[in-house]
Chain A
Amino acid sequence: MSNKQINWFKFASPQAFYPLAGRMIPWFWGLAAVFGIAGLYIGFLVAPTDAQQGEGYRIIFLHVPASWMSMFIYLVMAFWAGLGLAFNFRLSGMMASALAPTGALFAFLSLWTGALWGKPMWGAWWVWDARLTSELILLFLYVGFIALQSAIDDPRRADKAGAILALVGVVNVPIIYFSVKWWNTLHQGSSVSLTKSPSMAMTMLWGMLLCALACWMYAIAVALMRVRTIMLERERHTDWVRAELRELCEPAGGE
């Protein structure tokens, strides 16, 4: 009892992280459900209508969290990638590859909901607005990362090459965003700005934050699930995977 200090590096090994992640996943699912229900309740049932945009504005309760998560996941991915390059943790490369598909999914959802929002607001499914364009480029970056990793057979090399790409991407994202913004102001495609709705009511803000939290918890849960699969796949020749699977076998196998 006296020795309560946790050795965090212990969890950096797949062997220790695998069961830990398994125990954490239900909690994150629970939190995602609670936040999601609360956020959608506020967003769709409590929040008043927006004076300018009518009821269509309720898409922001999905669109903004999805865009936030797509950007945030890229940052987290680059963070894991950098950690993996610097300290050679096996876990960090796996985390980066586990996060990428979820990030790409959120980028896609952000574009999808953005299109469905843009149609009633701007009268067009797609507008070359700086934010939408940057989101599209972010999706390209995710696709490039996933394609590079899946093209390389050796997982160690795939991790490292992906890490370099993620870091180069994360340095470039602000430059890309700035250049797209510059391009956008010069060409003045759209004059309506979405986040500039001047007085966002407190209830709307709360709804959005809760939805964003729900997406965050969802992303963690899904990434942990995916990282567990990646661990089993990559470490299938090790003893701990055998032990883990035999344990899984027992209830069914009897003997």
Chain B
Amino acid sequence: MTNHTPGRNCLIVAVLLLAALFGACKPSGEESSSHPPVVVFKHSKLFGDPRPLAQLLAEFERANPGVRVRAETLPAASDAQHQYYATNLAAGAADFDVFALDVIWVAEFARAGWLRDLSHLLPAAEREAFFRGPIEAVTWEGRAFALPWFMDAGVLYYRKDLLDKNHLAPPRTWDELLHAARTVTRTESGVHGFVWQGKQYEGLVCNALEYLWSHGGEVLRNGQVVLDSAANRAALTFMRELLTSGVTPEFVTTLTEEPAREIFGRGAALFLRNWPYAWRLFEQQGSAVRGKVGVSALPHFIGGKSAATLGGWQLGVNRHSRNPQAAERLAQYLTSPAAQKVLALAYGYNPPRRALYEDPELLAAQPFFAELRAVYERARPRPVTPQYVRLSQVLQAEFSGAVAGLKSPSQALIDAQRQAEAILR
């Protein structure tokens, strides 16, 4: 290269060109966020009519003159949302104020310093109003960093008609489930015994923990990894047996929530483990299993207690929010009994507040709410640790290895124990 100045001119032209393009391509909707009175609320898309939520937000604006709310939705995949929030918050983003967090993120985000401490919004009396699980999930080192918005827990769906036909009661233990599935599939062709979520992903951890816990097993106890235990071995061995016995089809290792729900929903399975959302879809017009579905707490091992993995979403306030007071008020408002009731009626989102499970209007709309209450009382959060994502990646792979028969359950637990210790050390 012989001549330097023209080269620099070229660079300037290139930069200007890029800058011009940048102006043209900036996504709309980001410019107005600097106006102080706008509170931006990020959440995943609600399935159903958007109006009830819009009305809630309008009501909040009326009650808080001078504050405007803008709601923005994110893709439904939890992983994609995690990446969005983590990368934006790490970069110090202030263009959203209130946002919905999956239960498993609170500790991580709190530890990273991305969330406002909301302990003052959850005094002792208020904490009592919620189920224990969600309160545990929003607490990190004794402080509350989010407010429970709606909750989920694993439940068992069963085909009432098929059980009745064979004079069977809904199973209370895993052995009873095994027995019922064997009995029914012997005579019903084209019906799988039991489907659940066995793909290598977060859902598998939710499923597996329910077996571990219902055998008295644990992942962490007082901060120590206790994966490699006799109880966990027996529980994981049982999961593998579900496949080898033919009660659960081999391809359960590809199933996430929806494919599993779809199989049960077209009448091709006796039992299904899923979240409460599936109920409404089974009971809707045109469903092949309408009126034939029962819901109960998940079975347990003999000597253990039924356990359900806690899911659901919490509302947190961005530490860099420019309107923290208004943001806190919005989070508080959306988690109030009145707002949670609206969400439950309009979208079937289950409130984390105990009192709503005695609300006559809600009970009439969601007849299985009474059943759910018992499950929610016991719903347990996954291990609350800022390293949850890494821990989960290990559990996903090792549980998957045991379920798919790639390694023995005891080997999988030994391997998981070693890796989990390294992560949490």
Q: Do A and B bind each other?
A: no
Hey, which bits of chain B sit against chain A, CB under 8 A?
none
Q: Chain A residues in contact with chain B, CB under 8 A?
A: none
